[in-house]
Structure 1
């Protein structure tokens, strides 16, 4: 194997920057419905559950495709999958711009989910291959949070465009960004800094075996449950229900809600490097970090939901800051996948982990929509603070089993590294808590 480019060098940062730009666009497409949700409800004349279906099908397709996409990533590499994903999202957003019926809108969101599913795991593989292992946790954290700029673009420019230019023009402008990025992808991105033919010669049967081996690895499943438990609340808030919760449920203006959504992105940006440094410095306490983070999120939501009437603005600020931390916190799951799997099955392991957060997110989006339809059957016009109090409380039905599974697999992983010689290099030099 010949190394043609230095790890972490100028070319590595060029490849990374181009891939992250595509990831930003994917996040924008994913979260655009969070700002456009109430407009979509009027455009398609649909109920709360039907509105939630847009996000459910998008996230459901995303989650369902993670394992096959991970296998294809090990077979064909990041550049090919980023290209297919970018083209698919662009065409789907054009379709969404012209969708005049509920069915057409749902079909468009399905294909946005298809394209989106190919992006993040492809970017993480590039990070793992192009940067030194000691720097990978920090670059991974920065990758995840810079992608959230896409949420910021949805919170401000898209909200402005919908108000000034209307539905079709706004989404056509969004789709146009994919054309420019496809050119950059072709010119800049290279799959690996090595002259390595192993991936291109990999047969699909071997790819299937890589998925099986990645799934058997307890560290992979610990990563999945860390991602499942920490990530979904921030995703649900950004993708679907945060904007209605803040405006209709908490009585904020559209501009005030946009400011809080922007603050959520900023909070994640600040938290991300800190989490990256923690993971790099204390690799044996990664799941411990997730457990504490989820506990703080549960407390913050409990205070807001139990507050008499509408919560004060300062408390909502605390809520969005704490919820935002779940995004970078969930990236611990990918670092666990990287630690416990060789590079030949890194795509498969990353795809398995990525399933976790999005299964949790789509389940929560659906449950919130169902509860809102029960407590406010008249649709968005009848939402109240109490409607959202009941609906947002369903998050605890997802958090609690997630915490149980983290504890279960962290114990199993801990036993494995203490008893299996293949993991001897992972045993801490001091008898500290190997939280993994």
Structure 2
């Protein structure tokens, strides 16, 4: 009994420190969201160029997920968590001082690299340290609690920019990174009784087998498309376009825009454990729940975009709440990946799935910037009409995602029916 309590205590401590690293990653990722207009003035750039910051950050994040998954299976999560925290800290220090657009882009790429090394490692630690029955809840708590970093990047960073200025605000953010790095070094272990638990050596044949086996199972693809379809709306609002949309598109003050983004994150945090409880109790309806949440997002966005004039406050609050629920819904995709892949290639499967939402977010961030520049006369501010056109790009991604969720679910059930040992039909 004592040894079990000690193991549980160690698991919670290690999870808490790893969660702090993920919270830091979300904070760094989101720290530009409330500084979009200041960045445009500081670097003298257009909407499309402003979107490049987030575009490259997301591109780096999505592009590194499979390599990170492979490295995770090989080197373990502790080494990758430390590396990620260090790289993000360096990126924020650079971003604090640069004054040219190309150097600023390079600094945000560093943030993207460090961010890419973090979340997958935390999920691997959860799967290693906690009993199987608790993994869905701890995974949702990880995703939900980590998003508190977005709150830290909203109201407090808005205050920091206005009182401390650009450089000091970002240096303060980097200082937090040093503290978290030290905590990871001192506390985190790969597995019980092991500071590090490396896996098989990486070779071309290993990479080919691992990627092929993971993607070949339709359950992994179901996880990918679940993540793709549910996450992008919340990510795009939180990372870049939410603040300008509420200020320029809906006529809200800076304070109101910051509060709306905070409500989005609060909805995300509250919804995560609720969704974990629902999916644990009703595993055969997880994909139905996902599709229902997506359709709710489509409905509320449609109401906002077709509303004559500025949408009322209650509708904007409903928007950020529903969109916020979409982010923890994307975590359900990792449940499919964990269920249909053995431990030896779990990191690879998680990396593949984690690409989905960020690929979709990348496409949407670029599309919004291009459409805004297309619909806004040169030298003019963004207009509500331009934002309505730009935000409508989401419908294409929702259509593609829903079609592939439906198809992957059908193929997963067929696959499991033919080979029951590869998983369950609880999709």
Fold in common (TM above 0.5): yes
* Structure 1 consecutive aligned stretches of length 4 or more whose deviation exceeds 6 Å: 4-8
Aligned to 1:192: 191
SS in 2 for 1:9: helix
1:232 and 2:232 correspond: yes
Q: Which region of structure 1 is more displaced relative to structure 2, 197-206 or 184-193?
A: 197-206
Counterpart Cα distance in 1 of 2:6 and 2:345: 20
Counterpart Cα distance in 1 of 2:184 and 2:165: 30
SS in 2 for 1:92: helix
Counterpart Cα distance in 1 of 2:170 and 2:137: 33
Q: Which region of structure 1 is more displaced relative to structure 2, 382-391 or 404-413?
A: 382-391
Aligned to 1:67: 66
Aligned to 1:35: 34
Deviations 1:128-187 (A, max 9, x none): 111111111011001001111110001111110101111111101101111111111111
The 5-angstrom pairing of residues 294-333 of structure 1 reads 294-333=294-333
Aligned to 1:374: 374
Aligned to 1:213: 213
The 5-angstrom pairing of residues 148-187 of structure 1 reads 148-187=147-186
Deviations 1:360-411 (A, max 9, x none): 00100000000000001336x5212111111101100111001011011000
Q: CA deviation at 1:74?
A: 0.3
Counterpart Cα distance in 1 of 2:312 and 2:407: 38
Counterpart Cα distance in 1 of 2:211 and 2:302: 38
The 5-angstrom pairing of residues 48-59 of structure 1 reads 48-59=47-58
Q: CA deviation at 1:32?
A: 1.0
SS in 2 for 1:309: coil
Structure 2 runs not aligned, ≥5 long: none
Counterpart Cα distance in 1 of 2:397 and 2:212: 26
Maintained 8 Å contact 2:33/2:240: yes
Q: 1:197 to 1:22 in 2, by over 3 A?
A: closer
Aligned to 2:424: 426
1:281 and 2:259 correspond: no
Aligned to 1:267: 267
Q: 1:358 to 1:8 in 2, by over 3 A?
A: farther
Aligned to 1:431: none
1:388 and 2:372 correspond: no
Q: 1:134 to 1:74 in 2, by over 3 A?
A: same
Q: 1:200 to 1:421 in 2, by over 3 A?
A: closer
Normalised TM-score (structure 2): 0.96
Deviations 1:61-120 (A, max 9, x none): 100000000000000010000011111100011111111101011111111111100000
Q: CA deviation at 1:40?
A: 0.1
Maintained 8 Å contact 1:7/1:131: no
SS in 2 for 1:308: coil
